Structure 1
Amino acid sequence: MYNSIRPGQVWLDTEGKRIQAHGGSVIYIDGTYYFYGENKEKTDGKNGIWHWGVRCYASKDLYNWEDKGLIIPPEPENPASSLHPASQMDRPHIIYNMETKKYVAWLKIMNKDRTQTETVLTADKFLGPYTKVREGLKPLNMSAGDFDLAVAPDGKAYYYFERVHSETICADLTSDYTDVTGYYSTHFPHPYPPYVREATAHFIRKNKHYLITSGTTGYLPNPSEIAIGDSWHGPFVILGNPHQTDESNTSFHSQISSVFKVPGKKDLYIACADRWLPEHMDEKYEEYSKLFEAMFNPETDVDWKELAKEHPQDISDNTSIADYVWLPLRFEEPSQEHPFGMVYIDWLDEWKIEDYE
């Protein structure tokens, strides 16, 4: 039994097994927390298995998690399926549609040609079964990477995603949440990685919209960035890196996956992040960021293949042992130094939900 959250330490479920809910999110339904994400239990970096479906866990206290099994199973018998274990499925997000009474799941799929599309599924119950309604969806005819989904109080839904290696897009969803309407806005344009923003996590506090993002360096971690806006479509003002005390410049060796507002608590928001490579925390961001820039900057004279020899890429594939870094957000109200306020993520070896009002 756990009675606290211990960021970066191995987190076991109630059966004593590693929790497998990577790129995950938390949703609260009828008094129960559900934590779901990519199941990497069979992913060793050598067998060609990228995922084994979407796994879900249930908890009453956010500490102890009971395995509820695969809510979206893999399809190992169909090599053409976006849910085949070799398919690069990432970052599932599930929202509830009050009008259709359906739970709607979006999955990011990296295709063999490196384009990225979405698979959309629906279910009558959160734990499933889920049925595919769209596969190979290319939102706005864009290659769509890491993303988040958000629902307004009036039922309108929004889709924040990385237009691959380009910019962040906020797109309106259709009324059934299974497609985009065509209306969208653009944010944070960058010419190439590692500066392009991905892993977008949206949340609202005091009627302000926040986006926390990471840079683009694969499973290797990098500095996060937080931005604030007055509406779903912004415009957004960049506040800076919330991990101010992190000397490694790696967001405490983690990448944001989602932000969860704890119901019943006055101001407790949890930044949920993955530590994808716990065995390689000695890699230096300043060094491998140069590699990613050399790979994607068309004007560079640097030979990225030479740089790559110093950073073996096979380290990024054994994600079955990835850990979780869950930390509370700390808010600083507007001041002369920070006219829009600031949001910080401080390192804590251990912390408790009960310590917050």
Structure 2
Amino acid sequence: MNKYDRFYPGRVWLDTEGKRIQAHGGSVIFIDGVYYWYGENKEKTVPGSGIWHWGVRCYASRDLYNWEDKGLIIPPEPDDIHSSLHPSRCMDRPHIIYNRGTGKYVCWLKIMNPDETQTSTVLTADHFLGPYTKVREGLKPLNMSAGDFDLAVAPDGKAYYYFERVHSETICADLTEDYTDVTGYYSTHFPRPYPPYVREATAHFSRKGKHYLLTSGTTSYYPNPSEIAIADTWHGPYRVLGNPHPEDKSNTSYHSQISSVFKVQGKKDLYIACADRWLPRQMDARYEEYSRMFEAIFNPDISVEERQKLLAREPLPEDNTSIADYVWLPLRFDGEMVYIDWKEEWSLDDYE
């Protein structure tokens, strides 16, 4: 039963059964006239639960407003404490691409392990909705600790993996022909000394022969200013254009963090930026304060006394990502620059 006929960024978004949509750190793919929106299922991720995720959930829609729950396409593995899909493991940002050569859907997952290393789990399936089978677990691409990422496929079928080399820089790596590993060829971008300045939440999209990377800073679930960068090729070099969120006086990308960008079918030039509002109850938290806390943790030049002072402030409230919301907004292009304007509500009908 359809309920929505417009987007309402930042408000609670319910599926066709009246339940909160749980597709965080998510992406949208278009297959045979249907959009599929998939992401982290956070329904059980409440304070004190010890649960980071409950698998990857997927929704289907033909109008982008109303979403039918298709269930868990990658379920958690609560009975295997050593599994990368155990609910206590920090599984983030699933990305699925289709390999025309093998006929397989290939899913990569970011896994933050108990020893603080970050690895990738790779799964494949014959059908988008699964079942998915693990083909790699504990993968360290290029022998690097790999954080937030995106996957992209070129028209010729070659695939690319953009990821945060944790607390360091952004990497663009070529994928193997089956998309389940990296070839060893890569390029480096946006070197930064430490959080919160290191870029994460990488989202790639192409338009009119240009490649764009939309990223956030590194402040965990607390939002920060985004950056947009542009290049002529997949491997760059990428040139930072600036913050795409105009009039965002809070420096929080409208209290959200980017997850992905997709082009709307049948529209001339409409791209939608999908973002998570991870902490809707903490929108009064000041970016200047918590970003300084992250710098205090990672900047080796800050004195012990100053670090203790910065970290001794009143702790922020505990995260409750089970009630996280979504901020979907259209991109606006002005020459090579990309903007994301705030809209209380908007419709596909507003665009050609």
TM-score range (shorter-chain normalised) is: over 0.9
Q: Counterpart amino acid of 2:310?
A: L
Q: Unpaired segments of 5 or more residues in structure 1?
A: 334-340
The offset of 1:348, in angstroms, is 0.2
Q: 2:270 corresponds to which residue? A: 268
Q: Which residue of 1 aligns with 2:235?
A: 233
1:193-204 equivalences under 5 Å are: 193-204=195-206
CA contact (8 A) 2:296 2:311 kept: no
Q: 2:341 aligns with which of 322, 329, 346?
A: 346
Partner of 1:310: 313
Q: CA deviation at 1:290?
A: 0.6
Partner of residue 58, structure 1: 60
8 A contact 1:288–1:311 mirrored in 2? no
Tell me, in whole angstroms, the C-alpha distance in 1 between the residues paired with 2:88 and 2:52: 5
Task: Quote the offset at 1:355 in angstroms.
Answer: 1.3
User: TM-score scaled to structure 1, two decimals?
Assistant: 0.96
Report SS of the residue matched to 1:279.
helix
Task: Kindly indicate whether residue 350 of structure 2 is the aligned counterpart of residue 355 of structure 1.
Answer: yes
Matched, 1:290 2:292: yes
Give the Å deviation of 1:311. 5.0
Deviations 1:194-242 (A, max 9, x none): 0000000000000000000000000000000000000000000100000
The count of corresponding residues between Structure 1 and Structure 2 is 349
1:17 match: 19
Render the CA deviation track for 1:88-108: whole Å, top value 9, x for unaligned: 000000000000000000000
CA distance in 1, matches of 2:301, 2:313: 22
Provide the C-alpha distance between the structure 2 equivalents of 1:299 and 1:105, rounded to a whole number of angstroms: 40
User: Partner amino acid for 1:284?
Assistant: R
For residues 314 and 342 of structure 2, the distance between their equivalents in structure 1, rounded to whole angstroms, comes to 27
Match of 1:141 in 2: 143
The answer on 1:300 being equivalent to 2:270 is no
CA distance in 2 between partners of 1:120 and 1:84 (Å): 15
Cα distance in 2 for partners of 1:88, 1:314 equals 20
Q: Is the 8 A contact 2:223 2:253 kept in 1?
A: yes
- State the Cα distance separating 1:31 from its structure 2 match: 0.3
C-alpha distance in structure 1 between counterparts of 2:104 and 2:123, whole Å: 10
Instruction: Map 1:125-164; keep pairs closer than 5 Å.
Output: 125-164=127-166
Shift of 1:304: 3.5
- Secondary structure of 1:56's partner? strand
Superposed CA deviations along residues 134-174 of structure 1, whole A, max 9, x for unmatched, are 00000000000000000000000000000000000000000
Name the amino acid aligned to 2:203.
A
CA contact (8 A) 1:277 1:315 kept: no
* Matched residue type, 1:308: L
Change (3 A) 1:327 1:240: same
- Residues 242-281 of structure 1: matches in 2 within 5 Å? 242-281=244-283
Structure 2: 5+ residue runs without aligned partners?
none
TM-score (norm 2): 0.98
Give the counterpart of 2:123 among 121, 124, 128.
121
- In structure 2, the residue matched to 1:323 is 325
Tell me, yes or no, if the aligned pair for 1:214 and 1:222 is still in contact at 8 Å. Answer: yes
CA distance in 2, matches of 1:323, 1:284: 19
SS at 1:243's partner residue?
coil
Percent of paired sites with the same residue: 78
Instruction: Give secondary structure in 2 for the equivalent of 1:354.
Output: helix
Q: Give the Cα separation in 1 of the matches to 2:168 and 2:146.
A: 10
Question: How far apart in 2 are the matches of 1:179 and 1:24?
Answer: 21
Q: Provide runs of 4+ in structure 1 moved above 2 Å.
A: 302-316
